[in-house]
A and B are shown apart, each in its own frame.
Chain A
Amino acid sequence: MEVFDIFLLEAILNGLLLGGLLALLSLGLNLVFGVIDVVWICYAELIMCGMYAVYYLHVQYHWPLVLAMLAAVAIVALLGLALHQFVIRPVLRAEPINQLLVTGGVLFFLQAAATLAFGIEFKNLGVTLPSVRLGEMSFSAARLVAFGVALAGMIALYFFLSKTYLGTAIRAISQDRAIMPLMGVSPARIFGVTSALGGALAGLAACLLVLQYDVHPAIGLSFGPIVFLICVLGGLGNMLGGFIAAFVFAQFIAVGGFVFHLEWGYVLAFVFFIVVMFWRPQGILGK
């Protein structure tokens, strides 16, 4: 029984680590939706681009890993900005279904482009972080790093949004878009900044994922749907809701997977999602 308890604790702690990463993943999507009111269906594919950027800069061009990661964050931030300027902006006043379809189109475009450019094989960064032992429990250092960076990233974003003029304007524009010009704020500029920020968050997520997983053109499909479910579960556009939902979801996956079987963790998590949707279709903190 004692051994069982310690492994249960390990599963709970692993769930916590996974939750931090999922929370970061959902953050960028929620930010963009909350401010611009457009869902980036291709969000996970932006992350894929960031993973390839880290891989090629580090493995092919021998950049130091940290530098490659910083560059990847910048590259995906630019991708986010480009996505807004060239794809979202022309359909900003179109029907929501059309906005979904264009970003869905970008999803397939990025997948196909990555297949053409990089091939279908799985690429491994070749960086193995050791596992960390804590008593009888062991944790992957990559997960610990991911958790720490994700937490730091979220705290930095929190301070940016609450303490700066630009951050306050980002929150304000999601509450009343039409009067922002009266404050001397150009909505187009705020949308651009928000998109770049959403991209940068996707880039940061990419750096953390590429430490744990091989990158391939379809990798977005393996976590994209989960990220969407978490955002919807928390209330789409509500960053705090997404944060809570990420940790709840991760516990279902980790503890459910430990008590029953790995795949059962996902089954339980999705059942939980469906039940919550019956009870609160707008999400836990949605309006």
Chain B
Amino acid sequence: MLSLERVSAGYGDFQALFGVTLEVNAGEAVAVIGPNGAGKTTLLRVISKLVEPSAGDIRLEGRSLAPVPAHEVVAHGIAHVPENRRLFPRLSVEENLRMGAFTARKQFAERLATVYGLFPRLKERSKQFAGTLSGGEQQMCAIGRALMSGPKLLLLDEPSAGLAPVVVQSIFALVRRICAQGYTVLIVEQNIRQVLKVVSRAYLLEAGRIELSGSAQELLGSREIQKAYLGI
């Protein structure tokens, strides 16, 4: 469904990604893991065109995204849940969800019912300002907002960041449920042990380069990852 071919990108003089190649198949959940500053967030920002790649090609279902401006990417079927959730704090929960459906207004009512079915908590809080939600609820709202566009591919940037350990558990359970519903998911995480239980395949990104890739089991068993990241 999504393929990146030798993609490089950066900000000004600073290069964050060096020739990254990766693939996500339809219906698959894939993780990109790696330490802080490895370029994981930039990778997602390149896919949703918030950052223009300096080299390489990004293809969605075989079609290049090169000519697509950032604000049309979501209409092509890619929804991005950004780092730190980035809800609109002084819009209500429902208005945040409405913004997610900006390009799919006809399906608003139907998808709102779906999202509320997935997150009953959001329905209870629908009239509340999003800024007053707890961290876990905010993450639900951010994911719900992305689902409102009816995406083929969901990009999740560190959904567990900044949440209490018990909430992290429930967020990963949630991600597992979303994957089980048939969404194609590309998830970026530092919480390697947890995310590898959710996804089927993963890539290890270090200093802007893909250093390792394989099934979640293979990566969990790899000496390199165990030593550097899992402390075994």
Contact = CB atoms under 8 A, between A and B. Distances in A.
Please classify how large the interface on chain A is, using the bins under 10, 10 to 19, 20 to 34, 35 or more. Answer: 10 to 19
B91 A182 contact: no
A176 interface: yes
A180 B74 CA distance: 11
B226 to A, nearest CB: 35
Contact of B48 (A168, A182, A187): A182
Interface in B36-71: 48-50, 69-71
Interface string B152-164: 0000000000000
B74 A168 contact: no
Contacts of B149: 184
Interface residues of B, number: 27
A165 B98 contact: yes
A186 interface: yes
Contacts of B105: 165
Interface string A166-186: 001101100110111111111
A183 B50 contact: no
B103 interface: yes
A175 B71 contact: no
B50 A168 contact: no
Contacts of B88: 171-172, 175-176
Contacts of B70: 181-182
Contacts of B90: 171, 175
Interface of B: 48-50, 69-75, 79-80, 82, 86, 88-91, 95, 98-100, 102-103, 105, 145, 149
A165, A180, A183 — most chain B CB neighbours (10 Å): A183
B71 A184 contact: yes
A176 B102 CA distance: 16
Interface in A191-233: none
A80 to B, nearest CB: 22
Contacts of A169: 99, 102
B174 to A, nearest CB: 20
A168, A178, A184, A187 — most chain B CB neighbours (10 Å): A184
